[in-house]
Amino acid sequence: MFIEETREIIRNCRFCLMCRHACTSARFTKNESDTPRAKALNLWTVLEGMRSFEASDAEVFFRCADCHRCKQHCISGYDVPAMVEAARRDLAAVGLIPNEVRKLRRDILETGNPFGVRAPIRDASNACETLVFPGCELSCQGGEVMDRAAHLMTHLGRKFEVLWDGCCGTPLRSLGFLEDARLVAERLASRIREARATELVVLCPTCLIAFRQGWVPLPEGVRVRFHLEVVAEVLAQKRLQGSRNPRRRVLVHDPCSTGRRLGEYDLSRRVLSGLPGVEAMEFFLSKGESLCCGGSVISRRVAPEMGRHSASLILTEAKEAGADGIVTTCPSCRMHFNQQDVGIRAYDPLELLLD
């Protein structure tokens, strides 16, 4: 079993309550079985041969929001999310998979994205200096942000191409379909090699993790950059004037991927501080303590009610603070917030930079 690889985590977490309050899914369901402690205790009974996996285990482990708040709150530094991922791999291996997870897997394998959208493949195999990779969310439904990204690259005089289609494999990997994820990642890596770029600018922090961890194998010498690094560089060099809009008060949202997983909290704040007309404010819980919006491509499919509840907590605070909007560095969070239709718009920093 794959959970054997996380035995130490399971053994030490099964009676510990330190991160219980931080769990996004447990806060929504109010079920003890959703807490990290209960997950570990249940896995211990499987490890010790007291019982086998059941359908109820699948409901709990696939409902996890992958927010990494448990890991953030672990005083001993245990990688609790690794335990969840291992459990999902075991559950997938024995066929205990919720229907929405089956559909999500099929959509990625058949259409190349988690949304089941059969988008036409737009070639990016021509040799270029910079390859811009939007990720699934922006490739399928992120025209505004991608227009700004293209404008930025043009302004900088970069010879660039946009690799519109191609999943990095992270959703499949997170759901336990490791071999499927490797296949998808290698397919993407092949297309990147064809472009012969020396720089890869990534707009999705989840994809950025896949590239930086080597999950998507890149040719030697390719420099991988988050798009905000380019934006911060441009502002520091005063090569763009920034927003011309009337003054806006925006709350800075720290996505789970950019924040707790990448450990990047300063870039968005640095960018916003360089934009005239923008007043950046902080949520009550920010940076490593930031609430999960429930908007990952997995949560929106597997646990949509939890996702809407999680987003409402953040949007309600934004409305009560009198903010004009929310700035987030994750395309999935941006899209999820904007789908709630509550009068608060979420922006990528690029949208404020080039207004």
pLDDT for the residue 276: 83
pLDDT one-digit tens code per residue, 264-321: 999 999 999 888 889 999 999 999 999 999 999 899 999 999 999 999 999 999 999 9
Residue type, 11: R
Domain that holds residue 29: 2-97
Q: Which of 233, 257, 290 is the last residue before a domain boundary? A: 233
Residue 213, helix vs strand vs coil: coil
CA distances from 104 to 33, 112, 116, 135, 177 (A): 24, 11, 8, 16, 11
For the chain, the 3-state helix, strand and coil shares in percent, each to the nearest 5, are 55, 10, 35
Same domain, 194 and 254: no
Residue type, 156: L
**The two structure tokens encoding residue 111:** 């259409």
CA dist 138 and 330 (Å) reads: 10
Helix (H) or strand (E) holding 72: helix 69-73
CA dist 196 and 204 (Å) reads: 21
Number of domains in the chain: 3
Contacts of 220 (CB under 8 A, 6+ apart): none
Check which CATH number belongs to the domain holding 303 and give it: 3.40.50
The band of 135, judged by pLDDT with boundaries at 50, 70 and 90, is very high
Same domain, 252 and 334: yes
Same domain, 195 and 249: no
**The two structure tokens encoding residue 178:** 């490791």
3-class secondary structure for 278-324? EEEEECCCCHHHCCCCCCCHHHHHHCHHHHHHHHHHHHHHHHHCCCC
Same domain, 247 and 343: yes
Same domain, 296 and 269: yes
pLDDT one-digit tens code per residue, 97-106: 999 999 999 9
Q: Does 328 map to a domain?
A: yes
Average pLDDT for residues 101-122, to the nearest whole number? Answer: 84
**The two structure tokens encoding residue 25:** 């899914």
Distance from CA of residue 199 to its chain's centroid? 22
Same domain, 8 and 52: yes
pLDDT for the residue 84: 97
pLDDT one-digit tens code per residue, 229-252: 999 888 887 766 555 556 789 999
Q: Is it the case that residue 126 has pLDDT exceeding 80?
A: no
Q: Is it the case that residue 31 has pLDDT exceeding 60?
A: yes
Q: Which of 198, 233, 268 is the last residue before a domain boundary? A: 233
Q: Which of 210, 233, 256 is the last residue before a domain boundary? A: 233
Number of Cβ atoms within 10 Å of the Cβ of 190: 12
Q: Does 109 map to a domain?
A: no
Q: Does 294 map to a domain?
A: yes
Span between the terminal Cα atoms of the chain, in Å: 52
CA dist 226 and 331 (Å) reads: 13
* Strands of the chain, DSSP E: 130-133, 160-162, 199-202, 223-226, 248-253, 278-282, 325-328, 345-347
pLDDT for the residue 19: 94
Q: Read off the pTM.
A: 0.92
